[in-house]
Amino acid sequence: GAANIGVVGLAVMGSNLARNLASREGNSVAVYNRTYARTESLVTEHPEAGFIAGKSIDEFVASLAKPRTAIIMVQAGAGTDAVIDQLAERFEPGDIIVDGGNANFQDTIAREQRIAPTGIHFVGVGISGGEEGALKGPSIMPGGSEESYRTLGPILASIAAVVAGEPCVTHVGTNGAGHFVKMIHNGIEYADMQLIGEAYDLLRTVGGLPPHAVADIFARWNEGPLESYLVEITADILRHVDQATGLPFVDVVLDQAGSKGTGVWTVQNALDLGVPVGGIAEAVFARAVSGKAEQRAAVRRLVTSRPEVQKVSPEFAEDVSAALYASKIVAYAQGFDAITAGAEKYGWNIHKDQIAKIWRGGCIIRARFLDRITQAYTENPDITTLLEAPYFAQAVADGEAAWRRVVATAALSGVPVPGFSSALSYYDSLAAERLPAALVQGQRDFFGAHTYRRTDRDGAFHTLWGGDRSEVTA
């Protein structure tokens, strides 16, 4: 075999990844697709790539140099399992099967376990950045064994996005760690998009600005600490005018947001692990609410008068920017908490500074902000929350008053801000001297004898609520 890397599955993602691989010095790329017509058109359209095309899976496997390394880019689920089995039948111990699709990390863990007895490495790799990222340089989150990474790492580094001279790839951890972190990335992406959406809504509804003026504000924000791909494209989208009607594009799009499920996975996993990721959950729920057309229509019919939109100062946009930044810090703090919890639960040694680093390029949440996260975790990997890192503590303190004004103004004006307000409540929960959790413990003890702990003594206690209300040690 002559190819150091192979790609199976040549739909848009696989084709682009194969072309990216072939364009990099040192790679020779074998390609295979179940339906040969796809292989043929890729090879014909891109003779410069020098692809080694396999007509059959056997031909493909024979064209790979050892250790054979093949990246699967087929439909997640049954398609992926079918290809894994075909490769596992033909590969030898030490060879590497890579799943580059959007697999659920639990499936990746199970697949790795299933393949491990054969001596073949199974590696789940999260690849972010969509079609364009696959072609020009994605952010890459590989899991799998250390040993497999010695072969795979340099190949992935050759195609990853590059920021400040460094490729956006790091060995995240064993088995499903890569797909796990990709999932969290997508959860954070949901939260970030929701927060940006709320900022737009406030500037428009309360600030009274037309979309093109809001676009100008986002473009300005993109020159400062909020600089990010999502803020940049938001300005673009808000400026766009629908060609059919001449109306702002954002006004002709149906306001019901879709989702493909990775945000839901993030929240489901966080619920299982007991990690509060309210910012991500609210973003998932906000999309769900937007889709409830009948309920929205029913409530709109009932509500005859809406609150009067509050008058705001000329500095309102600055307030919204501060609220957006503080809420964003909370959302990322929650996402990194989910990573910490997953690492603990599944035994992964995840370096969070490295994760923030590889998200700086190639992926949807790429942003200047991520440098600050890398810095925070490099200075102290053991901080209990990002909110405790000096830069973020200061940033939240600086924006706090504005954040409160914005959430209060939104509530008084009847503008929904589930992201901003849940982030602020989360922050206030962490900052509060006492939480009503004490009362909840009392309720739990009253009706279910669940016991409680005391502030002044160790141990578990129960009050005899139905009797003389004396306290007993549980």
Q: Least separation, in Å, of the C-beta of 293 and ligand NBP?
A: 27
Which of these ranges, 11-19, 202-210, 238-246, 386-394, lies near ligand NBP under the rule CB under 6 A?
11-19
CA distances, 200 to each of 84, 115, 154, 323, 412 (Å): 45, 48, 42, 12, 17
Which of the ranges 33-41, 52-60, 199-207, 228-236 carries the binding residues for ligand NBP, by CB under 6 A? 33-41
- Using the contact rule CB under 6 A, the part of the chain among 34-42, 49-57, 205-213, 218-226 near ligand NBP is 34-42
Piece of 32-40, 48-56, 167-175, 214-222 that binds ligand NBP (CB under 6 A)? 32-40
Least separation in angstroms between CB 425 and ligand NBP: 32
Taking CB atoms, the residue at the shortest distance from ligand NBP is 101
Cis peptide before 390 (omega within 30 of 0): no
**Annotated active-site residue in 112, 182, 282, 352:** 182
- Identify residues 61-120 at the interface with ligand NBP (CB under 6 A): 73-76, 79, 82-83, 101-102
Only one residue has tokens 């924006």, namely 399
- List 1, 94, 130, 276, residue binding ligand NBP (CB under 6 A): 130
Query: Number of H helices and number of E strands within the chain?
Result: 20, 11
261 scored as a contact of ligand NBP (CB under 6 A): no
CA 265 to CA 335: how far, in whole Å?
13
Q: Nearer to ligand NBP by C-beta: 262 or 413?
A: 262
Q: Tell me, yes or no, if 136 is annotated catalytic.
A: no
Q: How far is the CB of 285 from ligand NBP (least distance, A)?
A: 23
* Smaller CB separation from ligand NBP, 110 or 213: 110
Of residues 75 and 394, the one with the C-beta less far from ligand NBP: 75
Q: How far is the CB of 360 from ligand NBP (least distance, A)?
A: 17
Which DSSP category does 49 fall into? G
Examine residue 184 and tell whether it contacts ligand NBP (CB under 6 A): no
Does 128 sit near ligand NBP (CB under 6 A)? yes
Residue among 207 and 362 whose Cβ is closer to ligand NBP: 362
Q: How far is the CB of 259 from ligand NBP (least distance, A)?
A: 14
- Whichever of 182 and 372 has its CB closer to ligand NBP, that residue is 182
Q: Which is nearer to ligand NBP, 8 or 395 (CB)?
A: 8
Taking the CA atoms of 219, 224, 228 and 229 in sequence, report the sign of the dihedral they define: positive
- Regarding 195 and contact with ligand NBP (CB under 6 A), the answer is no
**Is position 10 an interface residue for ligand NBP (rule: CB under 6 A)?**
yes
Q: How many residues lie near ligand NBP (CB under 6 A)?
A: 23
Q: Name the region of 362 (left: φ>0; alpha: ψ -120 to 50; beta: rest).
A: left
In whole angstroms, the minimum distance from the beta carbon of 358 to ligand NBP comes to 14
Residue 82 beta carbon to ligand NBP: minimum distance, rounded to whole angstroms: 4
If phi > 0 it is left, if psi is from -120 to 50 it is alpha, else beta; for residue 464 that is beta
Exposure string of 180-210, with b = 16+ CB inside 10 Å and e = fewer, is bbbbbbbbbbbbbbbbbbbbbbbbbebbebe
Q: What is the 3-state secondary structure (H, E, C) of 346-409?
A: HCCCCCHHHHHHHCCCCCCCCECHHHHHHHHHHHCCCCCCHHHCHHHHHHHHHHHHHHHHHHHH
CB of 320 to ligand NBP, least distance (A): 30
Establish whether 92 is a catalytic residue.
Answer: no
CA dihedral 237, 222, 194, 385 (to 10 degrees): 160
Among 3, 4, 6, 14, the residue binding ligand NBP under the rule CB under 6 A is: 14
Q: Does 9 bind ligand NBP (CB under 6 A)?
A: yes
Contacts from 411-417 at CB under 8 Å and sequence distance 24+? 412/307, 412/310, 413/205, 413/206, 413/307, 413/308, 413/309, 413/310, 414/306, 414/307, 414/309, 415/198, 415/201, 415/202, 415/205, 415/206, 415/309, 416/198, 416/201, 416/286, 417/198, 417/201, 417/202
- Whole-angstrom Cα Rg for the chain: 26
Stretch that binds ligand NBP, among 28-36, 206-214, 308-316, 454-462 (CB under 6 A): 28-36
DSSP conformational letter for 310:
P
The residue type found at 450 is H
**Candidate residues 11, 43, 57, 162; the one interacting with ligand NBP per rule CB under 6 A:** 11
According to DSSP, the residues that pair with 98 across neighbouring strands are 71, 123
Which residues 6+ apart lie within 8 Å of 35 measured at CB? none
Point out which span in 128-136, 351-359, 409-417, 419-427 binds ligand NBP (CB under 6 A): 128-136
Give the other-Cβ count within 10 Å of 446's Cβ. Answer: 13
Closest CA to 106 of 304, 266, 263, 302: 266
Name residue 117's amino acid: P
- Compute the distance between CA of residue 45 and CA of residue 154 in angstroms, rounded to an integer: 27
Q: Which of 189, 198, 282, 357 is an active site residue?
A: 189
| Interface segment toward ligand NBP; rule CB under 6 A; list 10-18, 268-276, 298-306, 409-417 | 10-18
12 sits near ligand NBP (criterion: CB under 6 A) = yes
Beta carbon of residue 233, minimum distance to ligand NBP (angstroms, whole number): 15
Chain residues binding ligand NBP by CB under 6 A are 9-14, 33-35, 38, 73-76, 79, 82-83, 101-102, 127-130
Catalytic residues: 182, 189
